[in-house]
């Protein structure tokens, strides 16, 4: 999560009206009711005409500068003018065929500038692709009947849209009036070759998020025992409560040597969702070859790391601040302290699980208050713990094996899933993964 940033405090007016009461008042403000999971959209609309989103179905997140116990949360720290102060995420839409392009149109009342629109599609393997910004997504550009055409990086028969509102638009009292999608492009059976065999992996310097009580970019209120991470790009920001974008973060057995005090004894791994944006930068998707900014840097090298170690960009980040450490990932306190047992900031190995591995997926499910699932070195609780998997984390299942019988959210089972090299979790704490092959005998 970016540090020491002035907060944008837009004046958000509450008002009534047919559209406003349904969903978006002033700066996309939903009625002040308890937040709950957004209802699912009707299944499989036709991929021929426009899909009109229901404003009342959006999952809304606000940055109003309010107190932390306000019904709709509090400010997200960010640089002035960067990132939305309100974000409406609409339910995923199942289509009747796979497409690789979408037409997107929005309409507003009030000032037309300050809106941002992003879309994404789910791959055939059940893995969401990253969010794709809609070029020229201010209403003046997308209000025409044909909208703006967006090409997805892969065919998808499930799509989703989210709309952000900047502080400038919020100050002007703009109201989002409509959001429409029209699937076009690839025919049935289209394919892009599938996910590569291994997810992208990079060695990053990890820092601790802290900031208990603050609000993440997806609307989660930070707790002292949280298990999630922050990466410096919105393209892999998972909706709150989901593990659509999950990383595996592993310590180095021999520690690091670039910064005094790095490392921890032994190897431990944490499986955690991406719920925030940071550290240092917010447009640095260094894990992509076609990265949003800093395209001259090597693939996998965060801008902050290059600035700190090599003086890149004069040793400053994208906001002009002097970079004081080479951090490329932030870890929530539970991930940092309990899952990885790090005594201090450290160099770690990060695998971006949504970028590869076509094996069957499983979602980790916790039984008691969202506690993470303990990861062990073998299929039983008598094996040493090697890390933790956060509730909701989506992991690839390498294979299944018989082991100690365990009771969990998915029932009682004497089966364990291998989700990484030497990493096992009980099947009773996982949803999915049953299609994985049996593990080979040692």
Whole-number pLDDT of residue 61: 79
288: pLDDT strictly greater than 60: yes
Residue 392: CB partners within 8 Å, gap ≥ 6?
Answer: 241, 242, 243, 273, 363, 364, 365
Quickly state the pLDDT bin for 48 (edges 50, 70, 90).
low
Strand order of the sheet with strand 430-432?
Answer: 394-396, 361-364, 430-432
The alpha-helical segments, DSSP class H, found in 88-157 are 139-142
Average pLDDT over residues 240-254: 91
Q: Do domains 18-184 and 361-432 have the same CATH topology?
A: no
* Check whether domain 361-432 has CATH 2.30.30, yes or no: yes
Whole-number pLDDT of residue 112: 66
3-state helix, strand, coil in the chain (%, to 5): 10, 35, 55
Whole-number pLDDT of residue 173: 73
> Residue ranges per domain, the chain?
18-184, 200-355, 361-432
Average pLDDT over residues 181-199: 78
Whole-number pLDDT of residue 38: 38
Q: Which fold has domain 18-184?
A: Jelly Rolls (2.60.120)
For residue 322, give Cα distances in angstroms to 302, 308, 315, 318.
15, 8, 6, 10
For domain 200-355, give its CATH number from 3.10.105.10, 1.20.1440.230, 3.20.20.80, 2.40.40.10.
2.40.40.10
253-291: b (≥16 Cβ within 10 Å) or e: eeebeebeebbbeebbbbbbbbbbbbbbbbbbbbbbeeb
Average pLDDT over residues 397-424: 95
282: pLDDT strictly greater than 70: yes
Instruction: Summarize pLDDT for 194-232 with one digit per residue, the tens.
Output: 788 899 999 999 999 999 998 888 888 999 999 999 999
Q: What percent of the chain has pLDDT over 90?
A: 59
- Output phi, psi for 341, to 5 deg: 55, 45
Contact criterion met (CB below 8 Å) for 113 and 168:
yes
Q: What is the chain's mean pLDDT, rounded?
A: 80
Quickly state the pLDDT bin for 77 (edges 50, 70, 90).
very low
Instruction: Summarize pLDDT for 344-363 with one digit per residue, the tens.
Output: 999 999 999 999 999 999 99
- Output phi, psi for 55, to 5 deg: -55, -30
Give the best-scoring range by mean pLDDT among 170-179, 236-245, 369-378: 236-245
Whole-number pLDDT of residue 384: 96
More confident residue, 48 or 117: 117
Using CA atoms, how far apart are residues 421 and 399, in angstroms rounded to an integer? 11
Using CA atoms, how far apart are residues 252 and 187, in angstroms rounded to an integer? 46
């Amino acid at each position: 999560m970016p540090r020491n940033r002035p907060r944008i405090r837009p004046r958000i007016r509450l008002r009534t009206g047919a559209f406003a009461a349904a969903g978006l008042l002033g700066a996309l403000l939903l009625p002040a009711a308890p937040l709950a999971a957004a209802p699912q959209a009707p299944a499989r609309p036709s991929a021929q005409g426009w899909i009109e989103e229901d404003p009342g179905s959006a999952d809304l997140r606000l940055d109003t500068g309010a107190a932390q116990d306000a019904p709709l949360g509090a400010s997200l720290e960010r640089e002035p003018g960067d990132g939305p102060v309100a974000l409406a995420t609409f339910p995923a839409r199942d289509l009747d065929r796979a497409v690789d392009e979408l037409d997107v149109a929005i309409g507003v009342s009030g000032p037309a500038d300050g809106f941002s629109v992003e879309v994404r599609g789910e791959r055939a393997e059940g893995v969401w692709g990253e969010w794709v910004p809609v070029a020229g997504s201010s209403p003046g550009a997308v209000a025409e009947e044909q909208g703006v055409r967006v090409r997805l990086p892969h065919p998808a028969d499930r799509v989703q849209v989210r709309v952000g509102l900047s502080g400038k638009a919020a100050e002007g009292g703009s109201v989002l009036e409509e959001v429409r999608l029209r699937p076009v492009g690839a025919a049935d059976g289209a394919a892009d070759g599938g996910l590569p065999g291994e997810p992208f992996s990079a060695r990053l310097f990890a820092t601790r998020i802290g900031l208990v009580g603050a609000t993440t970019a997806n609307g989660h209120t930070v707790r002292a025992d949280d298990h999630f991470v922050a990466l410096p790009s919105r393209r892999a920001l998972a909706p709150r409560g989901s593990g659509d974008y999950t990383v595996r973060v592993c310590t180095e057995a021999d520690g690091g040597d670039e910064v005094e005090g790095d490392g921890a004894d032994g190897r431990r791994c944490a499986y955690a969702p991406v719920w925030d944006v940071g550290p240092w930068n917010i447009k640095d998707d260094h894990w992509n070859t076609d990265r949003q900014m800093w395209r001259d840097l090597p693939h996998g090298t965060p801008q902050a790391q290059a600035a700190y170690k090599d003086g890149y960009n004069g040793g400053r980040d994208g906001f002009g601040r002097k970079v004081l450490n080479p951090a490329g990932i932030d870890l929530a306190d539970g991930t940092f302290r309990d899952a990885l047992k790090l005594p201090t900031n450290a160099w770690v190995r990060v695998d971006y699980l949504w970028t590869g591995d076509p094996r069957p997926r499983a979602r980790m499910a916790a039984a008691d208050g969202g506690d993470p699932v303990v990861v062990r070195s073998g299929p039983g609780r008598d094996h040493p713990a090697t890390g933790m998997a956060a509730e909701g984390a989506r992991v690839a299942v390498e294979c299944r094996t018989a082991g100690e019988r365990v009771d969990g959210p998915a029932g009682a089972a004497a089966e364990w899933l291998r989700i990484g090299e030497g990493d096992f979790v009980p099947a009773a704490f996982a949803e999915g993964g049953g299609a994985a092959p049996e593990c080979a005998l040692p």
